[in-house]
Structure 1
Amino acid sequence: MKQDDGAARRFLLGTLAGLLGCMVLWGAGFAWFVNDALTSPVRPPVADGIVALTGGQGRIEASLRLLAQGQARQLLISGVAPHATTATVAGALQPDLAARLPAGLWHQVTLGRHATSTIGNADETAQWARDNGLHSLIVVTAGYHIRRAIMEIHRTLPDVALYPYAVHPPALQSPLRGSSLRLMATEYDKWLMASLGLARNMTTRAQN
């Protein structure tokens, strides 16, 4: 009986130590992730195209600014509503930005209406890039989303050079707020799953 009690105690202590180690590793990784998400974007090199992944504030605006500045010759806005048009997208912009955009800029913009997830964004981007013979892309999304977005797009376009351009939505302007931390913790876990290839596997199973 004593031997059984000792074995059970060692097993319990080992399990607790393992859980504690996992928590420490998760916490250290999360601290790195938050710091990375808060890093200010640097001006990317000129590329063949730009892709903006919808789902948060500032992404479309940043991509249009880059397009207007000549950082690429065409832009994909991936994940818009099925019935969206360039007119409705333009109408949702801040008035000062909309007024500064060249009149013919929207002829360089393609709206992707099929993506409903990051993996969908990656697939939609890959199709657009292949159709247009693009070899380099600037990827515009939120700082907490950029790592996962680049990873998923690279999996669909391994031969295309990808340049991240991360914007700072309101959640990153108050990073210590509870809702911001919860959002980034969720995005960190999604990035971990994507790193292990679990996210795409789960999506594939759901479609079968």
Structure 2
Amino acid sequence: MVYPRKNARWHQKSWVVRLLIVGVLVVAAWGAGLFRFAALLPTEIDDQTTRTDAIIVLTGGSERLNTGLDLLKDNWAGKLFVSGVYQGVDVNTLLQMFRHNPADLERRIGIGTATSTIGNALETADWIVKEGFTSLRLVTSAYHMPRSLLEFRNVMPGVKLVPHPVFAERVKQDRWWAWPGTASLITGEYNKFLLAWLRHFGKQLFAKTGVR
């Protein structure tokens, strides 16, 4: 004979065990995904020959903008768009800050003031529509490139994107888990990438099922 109280306790313990198993599986999947994400981060610039209509720089470090300005000076594209500039900063000020001659480059540069990666993609899309461009060289940090490409490809599916990763000295991609600063940076970026991917996946799923 099974007593009601013992039966209830057994079911309670059973649910706890199931939840623990699910939790362990979720953490294991997240951890495996993190290492996969880190392993797939770019370690070099794959395409160093293709000229594009424009160069896009996503702000977040001096190396990114310097790289974009150098590419523009070397005529890798006709124009440069810098997305994520502080409010109130104009092109002339930006060039002076980075010790470039405003007279040579000012007319070839546009700026935007987005504060997020999806904002970068949206304001860049608006800019290239006005300019009539169909190909971009995207300049951002290597660890930020996967999420940037995800957002840009979603917003502008018909545009050719050439990744141009920047490798900051402070980010140690080799054996990243052994460097606390880099480990925190890559883990945080991985979580942001997952959220962005889930957002896009959810939109596609709802679009297919007709749910709004």
TM-score, reference length from structure 2: 0.82
The answer to whether the aligner puts 1:124 opposite 2:129 as a matched pair is no
Superposed displacement of residue 4, structure 1: 2.2
Q: Is the Cα contact below 8 Å between 1:30 and 1:188 reproduced in 2?
A: yes
The one-letter code matched in structure 2 to 1:104 is D
Residue aligning to 1:147: 146
Distance in 2 (alpha carbons) for counterparts of 1:117 and 1:13: 40
Query: What SS does structure 2 have at the residue aligned with 1:42?
Result: coil
Residue aligning to 2:104: 104
The one-letter code matched in structure 1 to 2:54 is G
TM-score, reference length from structure 1: 0.83
Superposed displacement of residue 169, structure 1: 2.0
The one-letter code matched in structure 2 to 1:79 is G
Distance in 1 (alpha carbons) for counterparts of 2:104 and 2:10: 77
Q: Is the Cα contact below 8 Å between 2:92 and 2:102 reproduced in 1?
A: no
Distance in 2 (alpha carbons) for counterparts of 1:36 and 1:69: 29
Superposed displacement of residue 62, structure 1: 1.3
CA deviation profile, 1:95-141 (whole Å, cap 9, x unmatched): 6xx4xx896233211122x3111121111100111000011111111
Residue aligning to 2:82: 77
Superposed displacement of residue 58, structure 1: 0.9
Larger relative contact order (Cα-Cα within 8 Å, sequence gap ≥ 6): 1
Higher alpha-carbon Rg: 2
Q: Is the Cα contact below 8 Å between 2:95 and 2:102 reproduced in 1?
A: no
The answer to whether the aligner puts 1:166 opposite 2:170 as a matched pair is no
Residue aligning to 1:193: 195
Query: What SS does structure 2 have at the residue aligned with 1:17?
Result: helix
Distance in 2 (alpha carbons) for counterparts of 1:56 and 1:21: 37
Residue aligning to 1:37: 41
Q: How many pairs were matched up?
A: 195
Query: What SS does structure 1 have at the residue aligned with 2:139?
Result: strand
Pairing of 1:130-141 with structure 2 (within 5 A): 130-141=129-140
Distance in 1 (alpha carbons) for counterparts of 2:90 and 2:25: 50
The one-letter code matched in structure 2 to 1:12 is V
Query: What SS does structure 2 have at the residue aligned with 1:75?
Result: strand
Query: What SS does structure 1 have at the residue aligned with 2:171?
Result: helix
Superposed displacement of residue 40, structure 1: 1.9
Residue aligning to 2:7: 3
Going from structure 1 to structure 2, the CA distance change for 1:133 and 1:83 (only over 3 Å counts) comes to same
Q: Is the Cα contact below 8 Å between 2:172 and 2:179 reproduced in 1?
A: no
Distance in 2 (alpha carbons) for counterparts of 1:27 and 1:127: 37
CA-atom RMSD in angstroms: 2.4
Residue aligning to 1:182: 184
Identity %: 31
Residue aligning to 2:207: none
Superposed displacement of residue 6, structure 1: 2.3
Q: Is the Cα contact below 8 Å between 1:49 and 1:134 reproduced in 2?
A: yes
Q: Is the Cα contact below 8 Å between 1:67 and 1:75 reproduced in 2?
A: yes
Distance in 2 (alpha carbons) for counterparts of 1:197 and 1:51: 24
The one-letter code matched in structure 1 to 2:86 is A
Query: What SS does structure 2 have at the residue aligned with 1:197?
Result: helix
